[in-house]
């Protein structure tokens, strides 16, 4: 275990940025926090979570995949991929860190997404325990400990110091390059962790019950009469999917600029009416079907195909951002009534 005084946090960030590109959660001027490349004068936000998750650094919203150029009947393939620079992602919360495990199951399974894989290899994840969880947090429902997050390095903060524990080879290598970190006892973080766990145990959504969302009752959930009422108020705006750290849907499109064709991918949402649109139309033509797809995937399809791991990490972003407050907790509670 290592530590550094809070007054020297800027020195720590400066030292890390000399080794790798450093991203920290910082205020964006619109009363929100985002992961931002660190530079002198940029300070750590005091907000619990960023408006968008750390997923952006590994699976960006828009990404140019390859270009094509036609010359008569010949097609030239132009490889435009650039190797990402090694980077450090500081201040990742426990929920966002768990989301990487979910994304890994998607993008690192055969066939491996090499764009994602390269970024995962180049990135070092430094997590930060949640000193002030909010009422929209429910990560504990999924077995996530906000007081002891995973990652290459785990950090805790109090008023005096930042405490630092390396967990992986990546974390050990970064730690070795930071001589300003000094040794301290493992027990130093015990009071911080105990206080966090006390807060987490009292959060209003801590008792959300997801028992019964298993393969045996999948069709019962699918055919629930609740979907009709739950989906009525949904705007299909996709806000929930764009702030979600685990959503992984994307579309691939070609853009002809007159000189060459650029193929890129961008985030998509199963809540959109043109999602997976093909010549014959879409296979989910109603809002009810699209709404059901999103929540069945999070609560049933994904865990049933991934060792019981839910496709949600309880970060609470959709609870905060949904314009009509129809979020995954309300859906889960409503469906639970049908499982009794």
Do the Cβ atoms of 195 and 23 come closer than 8 Å? no
Render 41-71 in DSSP notation, one character per residue.
T-----SSS-SS-GGGGTS-SEEEEEEEEEE
pLDDT at res. 212:
86
Name the phi and psi angles at 130, rounded to 5: -90, 95
Do the Cβ atoms of 169 and 119 come closer than 8 Å? no
Please list the alpha-helical segments (H only) found in the chain.
9-19, 94-107, 114-122, 169-176, 190-201, 218-222, 226-231, 239-243, 287-296, 302-305, 317-321, 328-338
Structure token digits, residue 77: 């393939």
pLDDT digits (tens), the chain, 340 positions: 999 999 999 999 999 999 899 999 999 988 899 999 999 999 999 999 999 999 999 999 999 999 999 887 888 999 888 888 999 999 999 999 999 999 999 999 999 999 999 999 999 999 999 999 999 999 999 999 999 999 999 999 999 999 999 999 999 999 999 999 999 999 999 999 999 999 999 999 998 999 888 888 899 999 999 999 999 999 999 999 999 999 999 999 999 988 889 999 999 998 898 887 776 767 788 899 999 999 999 999 999 999 999 999 999 999 999 999 999 999 999 998 877 6
The pTM for the full model equals 0.93
pLDDT at res. 279:
66
Structure token digits, residue 100: 């990487």
Residues 303, 286: Cα–Cα separation, whole Å: 25
- Distance, C-alpha 105 to centroid of its chain: 13
Rounded to 10 deg, the angle between the 114-122 and 94-107 helix axes is 140
- Domain residue ranges in the chain: 2-201, 215-338
pLDDT at res. 104:
98
Residue 137's SS3 state is: coil
A 10 A CB-CB count for 165 gives: 18
């Amino acid at each position: 275990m290592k530590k550094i005084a809070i007054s020297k946090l800027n020195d720590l960030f400066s030292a890390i940025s000399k080794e790798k590109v450093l991203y920290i959660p910082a205020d964006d001027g619109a009363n929100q926090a985002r992961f931002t490349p660190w530079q002198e004068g940029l300070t750590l936000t005091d907000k619990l979570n960023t408006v968008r998750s750390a997923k952006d650094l590994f699976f960006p919203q828009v990404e140019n995949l390859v270009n094509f150029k036609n010359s008569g009947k010949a097609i030239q393939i132009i490889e435009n991929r650039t190797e990402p620079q090694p980077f450090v992602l500081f201040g990742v919360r426990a929920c966002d860190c768990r989301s990487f495990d979910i994304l890994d199951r998607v993008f690192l399974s055969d066939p491996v997404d090499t764009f994602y894989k390269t970024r995962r290899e180049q990135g070092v994840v430094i997590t930060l325990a949640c000193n002030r969880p909010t009422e929209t947090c429910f990560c504990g429902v999924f077995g996530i400990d906000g007081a002891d997050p995973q990652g290459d390095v785990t950090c805790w903060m109090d008023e005096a110091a930042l405490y630092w524990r390396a967990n992986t080879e990546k974390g050990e290598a970064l730690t070795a390059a930071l001589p300003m970190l000094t040794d301290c006892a493992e027990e130093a973080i015990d009071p911080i962790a105990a206080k966090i766990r006390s807060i987490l145990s009292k959060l209003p959504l801590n008792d959300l019950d997801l028992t019964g969302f298993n393969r045996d009752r999948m069709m019962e959930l699918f055919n629930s009469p609740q979907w009709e009422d739950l989906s009525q108020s949904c705007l299909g705006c996709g806000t929930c999917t764009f702030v979600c750290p685990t959503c992984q849907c994307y579309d691939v499109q070609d853009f002809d600029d007159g000189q060459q064709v650029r193929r890129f991918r961008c985030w998509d949402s199963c809540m959109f009416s043109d999602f997976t649109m093909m010549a014959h139309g879409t296979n989910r033509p109603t809002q009810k079907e699209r709404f059901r797809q999103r929540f069945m995937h999070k609560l049933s399809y994904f865990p049933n195909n991934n060792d019981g791991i839910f496709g949600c990490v309880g970060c609470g972003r959709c609870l905060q951002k949904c314009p009509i407050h129809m979020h995954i907790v309300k859906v889960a509670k409503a469906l639970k009534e049908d499982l009794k």
